[in-house]
């Protein structure tokens, strides 16, 4: 008599539990009733910067005693998926560290707070204007830009090069190439005399596209149409096609990632590595022999001398319950004092003018690490995000790379590839 | 014995026909939540435009119409079918041969079994990275070929559209051999030895024993391997992601990789769902085809 009803109760109870679990809204820390709780997500800063960030958080909480910051560190590769699903499920962070390219995807969908209206002119003036622009999205058909993040730490690529390989190739190691044109002149020499390759930029990110912009290719015109169907665009395409077809760069340019470039440089297979100064330390740890013959020079540039910068930012999802406090946290994280300390720890560059003026970035170099920092800091003012966030940028990059690859593989002439790329974008 | 009241009898009359379903209910609920509900959702999403962040907009069959005219979808489908053709026959036959070889009571055979099985326990990521090194322009494979042939060989394993899909499929075959070998091995060890003894008494040689005992009795296992490897090949993603990311110029773009690009990278969840359902349909058709093939052969025996 007892068994049947209790079995029924058990079954009903199980079902209710399961359904209840499915239907329950995840209660985030922001819902806490005892003051403000901010969820703060970063990209792979643990464990190296754990002490630093904990200290910054404690300082912030000291300034705002009613606020508790809950810091979550997300692995680099998982951030995109995690932030998307969290924002979609309304369980996202209040403050998040992203890169502009991905943040712009969220901004396109109006998921991030427009900081243009949240930050005062004085606060804004603390950042380099060129880096501030890196977080602005111009939407198709709209003149006004959305500012979707505050610039945080910056990497401005420099040239790391293997002096021994340059010497072997008969090139003065004190005068490495400064432009892509010179680099192309050197590539066959390196290949012939050392059996190695001069350099490898990869298409897993925007590095090749940035180089093409430096060479004079214009991505879009004022109407948002393709701006590269012209001799400048063809010249930029031709540069890569010629290098690829003559064997001046490894074929891996088609499929490999930046990590592979680093591996090749560390194994002595590449003469040049165009990358951020922060990788120098990694080379010293992984390949001390190569580090011993490594020197640094300013970023390889095009004819107009522009250099590129990669900016990490701090953005605020629109769904936050505490937009004002979230903005205050973002400003605090990126203020001049905190950025100086972070730059020293991470060997990155700051986005604030005052920090960059510190003697740490303007002094004299005792080691190659110092030299790398000073060289990259010196180019900070003329650095810019060469591919600013625009709507549909990922598609544009995909089209250009695909057509470029077809030309490299000999499936199309340069002219046809450029024309097809333009038509596909405009169509 | 207790006397039963009318209420209790009525309840038992209700319970007896439906009661057994109560035992299945928890599992059914879990399956419903984890399997059937997402499938239904995918079906619904495939009829919408959805970017994860905004509310889905109903667009009817638009995503399917778009699929019909999307050259990349057809390229991905073609590549996937070619990949199945490259991968499945070796995975059906090679592990069977291996299993027959390692089924012998030779000394040290356990080591061979282990060696063949080892790739299975490697994570795909580790295997993918290792193979990228092997396939590099100046990697081990080209080096060995150069030594054997006596002159420099630089096969563009992953960087030439004509080679790339073949190279990716080689990794899948390498990784799957041990897994399917174990399935066959289990089958082989289930064949009663008296069949071979009787055949030997009747004068059948080793080849005849294989031809008329081993192979027919292994057929159900072959069908199982055929179906499993076909489904796995249709869903190939990790190898492509790790080795080529669909390139060069889409030569290794497979359905699931394209689905991932559209869904996760471009946030076109509706379109990706439509593609997922088409993939489901193709896998279902191929699996049914494999079963039908097996049934007709059984009837023909």
ipTM: 0.77
The rounded average pLDDT for each run of 10 residues, N- to C-terminus, in chain A (427 residues) is 39 40 40 78 91 97 96 87 86 93 86 92 93 83 82 92 95 94 93 93 87 92 90 96 93 86 93 89 93 95 84 94 96 96 90 92 88 90 81 86 95 96 93
- Is beta strand A145-147 parallel, antiparallel or unpaired with respect to A383-384? unpaired
Q: Does B13 touch chain A (CB under 8 A)?
A: no
Cross-strand bridge partners of residue A137: A146
pLDDT, position B105? 80
* Nearest CA distance, B209 vs chain A (angstrom): 49
Contact A394 B266 (CB under 8 A): yes
Contact A11 B26 (CB under 8 A): yes
> What integer is the mean pLDDT of B265-271?
89
Q: Does B72 touch chain A (CB under 8 A)?
A: no
Measured between CB atoms, which of B22, B158, B266 is closest to A255? B158
Give the chain A residue nearest B3 (alpha carbons): A1
Contact criterion met (CB below 8 Å) for A190 and A165: yes
Omega prior to B248 cis, within 30 of 0: yes
Tell me how far apart the alpha carbons of residues A294 and A280 are, in angstroms, rounded to a whole number: 9
Burial B235-268 (b: 16+ CB within 10 A, else e): ebebbbbbbbbbbbbbbbbbbbbbbbbbbeebbb
Contact A394 B265 (CB under 8 A): yes
Give the chain B residue nearest A111 (alpha carbons): B53
B75 contact residues in A (CB cutoff 8 A): none
Contact criterion met (CB below 8 Å) for A100 and A385: yes
User: In this predicted model, which residue has the larger pLDDT, B171 or A7?
Assistant: B171
Give the chain B residue nearest A90 (alpha carbons): B53
pLDDT, position A304? 77
Max alpha carbon distance in chain A (Å)?
97
Tell me how far apart the alpha carbons of residues A316 and A97 are, in angstroms, rounded to a whole number: 9
B9 contact residues in A (CB cutoff 8 A): none
Tell me how far apart the alpha carbons of residues B217 and B211 are, in angstroms, rounded to a whole number: 10
At B142, list the tokens.
């080209």
Interface test with A, best of B56, B248, B251, B272 (most A CBs within 10 A): B248
CA-CA distances (angstroms) from residue B174 to A373, B115, B131, B181? 46, 12, 10, 12
**pLDDT band for position B278 (cuts 50, 70, 90):** very high
Give start and end residues of each alpha helix (H) in A133-206: 163-168, 180-194
| Digit-coded pLDDT (tens) for B114-135 | 888 888 888 888 999 899 989 9
CB-defined contacts A:B, below 8 A: 72
- pLDDT exceeds cutoff 90 at B55: no
At A294, list the tokens.
């490594």
Within chain B, strands assigned E span 48-49, 57-58
Q: How is A392-416 classified by DSSP, letter by letter?
A: THHHHHHHHHHHHHHHHTTSS-HHH
> What integer is the mean pLDDT of B239-262?
93
Tell me how far apart the alpha carbons of residues B10 and B278 are, in angstroms, rounded to a whole number: 49
Measured between CB atoms, which of A105, A109, A254 is closest to B247? A254
Within A243-338, strands assigned E span 272-275, 294-297, 307-308, 310-315
Cross-strand bridge partners of residue A295: A161
Measured between CB atoms, which of A15, A81, A395 is closest to B264? A81
Measured between CB atoms, which of A80, A87, A405 is closest to B248? A405
Residue B40 burial (CB count, 10 A): 11
Contact B244 A255 (CB under 8 A): yes
Contact B137 A14 (CB under 8 A): no
Interface of A with B (CB under 8 A): 1, 4, 7, 11, 14-15, 18, 22, 80-81, 84-85, 87-88, 105-106, 109, 111, 204, 250-252, 254-255, 260, 269, 394-395, 402, 405-406, 409, 411
> What integer is the mean pLDDT of B85-107?
92
Contact B30 A409 (CB under 8 A): no
Tell me how far apart the alpha carbons of residues A320 and A333 are, in angstroms, rounded to a whole number: 18
Q: Which of B254, B187, B192 is nearest to B225 (CA)?
A: B187
Contact criterion met (CB below 8 Å) for A95 and A329: yes
Residue B192 burial (CB count, 10 A): 10
- pLDDT exceeds cutoff 50 at B191: yes
Contacts of residue B171, defined as CB under 8 A and 6 or more positions apart, other chains included, come to B127, B128, B131, B239, B243
Give start and end residues of each alpha helix (H) in A67-119: 79-88, 100-108
Interface test with B, best of A1, A84, A252, A254 (most B CBs within 10 A): A254
Contact criterion met (CB below 8 Å) for B269 and B212: no
Contact B52 A106 (CB under 8 A): no
Tell me how far apart the alpha carbons of residues B282 and A270 are, in angstroms, rounded to a whole number: 45
CA-CA distances (angstroms) from residue B87 to B223, B225, B232, B247, B295? 15, 12, 10, 19, 23
Q: Does B56 touch chain A (CB under 8 A)?
A: no
Q: Does B140 touch chain A (CB under 8 A)?
A: no
Tell me how far apart the alpha carbons of residues A166 and A197 are, in angstroms, rounded to a whole number: 11
Residue whose pair of structure tokens reads 């509706």 in the numeric block: B270
A15 contact residues in B (CB cutoff 8 A): 25, 29
- Is beta strand A383-384 parallel, antiparallel or unpaired with respect to A294-297? unpaired
A406 contact residues in B (CB cutoff 8 A): 249
Measured between CB atoms, which of A11, A88, A409 is closest to B248? A409
């Amino acid at each position: 008599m007892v068994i049947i009803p209790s079995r029924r109760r058990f079954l009903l109870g199980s079902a209710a539990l399961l359904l209840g679990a499915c239907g329950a809204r995840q209660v985030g820390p922001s819902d806490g009733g005892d003051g403000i709780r901010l969820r703060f997500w970063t990209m792979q800063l643990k464990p190296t910067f754990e002490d630093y960030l904990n200290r910054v958080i404690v300082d912030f909480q000291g300034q705002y005693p009613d606020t508790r910051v809950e810091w979550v560190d997300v692995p680099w590769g998982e951030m995109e998926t995690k932030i998307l699903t969290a924002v979609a499920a309304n369980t996202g962070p209040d403050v998040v560290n992203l890169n502009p390219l991905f943040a712009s995807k969220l901004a396109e969908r109006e998921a991030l707070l427009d900081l243009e209206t949240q930050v005062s002119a004085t606060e804004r003036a603390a950042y380099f204007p060129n880096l501030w622009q890196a977080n602005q999205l111009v939407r198709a058909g709209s003149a006004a830009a959305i500012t979707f993040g505050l610039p945080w730490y910056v990497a401005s690529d420099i040239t790391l090069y293997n002096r021994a390989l340059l010497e072997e190739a008969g090139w003065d190691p004190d005068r490495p190439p400064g432009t892509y044109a010179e680099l192309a002149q050197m590539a066959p020499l390196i290949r012939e005399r050392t059996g190695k390759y001069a350099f490898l930029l990869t298409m897993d990110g925007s590095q090749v596209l940035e180089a093409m912009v430096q060479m004079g290719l214009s991505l879009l015109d004022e109407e948002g149409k393709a701006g590269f169907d012209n001799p400048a665009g063809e010249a930029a395409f031709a540069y890569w096609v010629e290098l690829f077809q003559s064997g001046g760069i490894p074929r891996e340019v088609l499929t490999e990632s930046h990590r592979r470039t680093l591996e090749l440089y560390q194994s002595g297979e590449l003469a040049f590595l165009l990358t951020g100064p922060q990788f120098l330390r990694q080379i010293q740890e992984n390949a001390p022999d190569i580090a011993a013959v490594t020197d640094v020079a300013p970023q390889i540039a095009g004819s107009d001398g522009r250099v590129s910068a990669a900016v990490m930012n701090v953005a605020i999802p629109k769904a936050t319950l505490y937009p004002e406090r979230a903005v205050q946290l973002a400003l605090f994280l990126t203020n001049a004092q905190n950025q100086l300390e972070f730059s020293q720890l991470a060997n990155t560059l700051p986005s604030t003018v005052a920090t960059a003026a510190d003697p740490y970035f303007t002094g004299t170099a005792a080691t190659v690490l110092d030299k790398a920092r000073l060289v990259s800091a010196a180019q900070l003012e003329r650095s810019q995000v060469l591919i600013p966030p625009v709507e549909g940028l990922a598609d544009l990059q995909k089209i250009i790379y695909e057509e470029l690859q077809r030309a490299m593989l000999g499936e199309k002439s340069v002219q046809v590839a450029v024309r097809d790329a333009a038509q596909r974008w405009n169509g | 014995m207790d006397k039963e009241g009318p209420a209790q009898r009525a309840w038992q009359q209700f319970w007896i026909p439906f009661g057994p379903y109560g035992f299945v209910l928890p599992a059914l609920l879990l399956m419903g939540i984890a399997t059937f509900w997402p499938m239904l959702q995918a079906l619904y999403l495939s009829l919408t435009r959805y970017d994860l962040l905004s509310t889905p907009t109903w667009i009817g069959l638009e995503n399917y119409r778009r699929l019909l005219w999307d050259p990349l979808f057809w390229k991905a489908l073609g590549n996937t079918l070619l990949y199945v053709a490259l991968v499945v026959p070796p995975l059906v036959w090679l592990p069977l041969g291996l299993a027959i070889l390692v089924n012998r009571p030779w000394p040290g055979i356990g080591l061979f079994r282990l060696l063949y099985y080892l790739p299975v326990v490697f994570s795909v990521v580790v295997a993918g990275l290792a193979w990228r090194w092997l396939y590099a322009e100046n990697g081990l494979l080209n080096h060995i070929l150069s030594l054997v042939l006596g002159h420099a060989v630089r096969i563009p394993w992953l960087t030439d559209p004509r080679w790339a899909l073949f190279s990716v499929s080689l990794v899948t075959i390498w990784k799957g051999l041990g897994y399917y070998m174990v399935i066959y091995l289990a089958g082989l060890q289930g064949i009663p030895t008296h069949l071979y003894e009787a055949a030997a008494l009747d004068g059948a040689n080793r080849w005849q024993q294989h031809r008329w005992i081993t192979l027919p009795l292994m057929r159900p296992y072959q069908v199982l391997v055929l179906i499993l490897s076909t489904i796995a090949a249709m869903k190939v993603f990790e190898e492509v992601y790790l080795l080529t990311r669909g390139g060069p110029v889409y030569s290794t773009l497979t359905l699931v990789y394209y689905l991932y690009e559209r869904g996760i990278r471009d946030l076109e969840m509706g379109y990706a769902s439509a593609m997922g359902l088409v993939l489901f349909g193709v896998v279902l058709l191929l699996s049914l085809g494999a079963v039908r093939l097996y049934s007709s052969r059984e009837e023909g025996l």
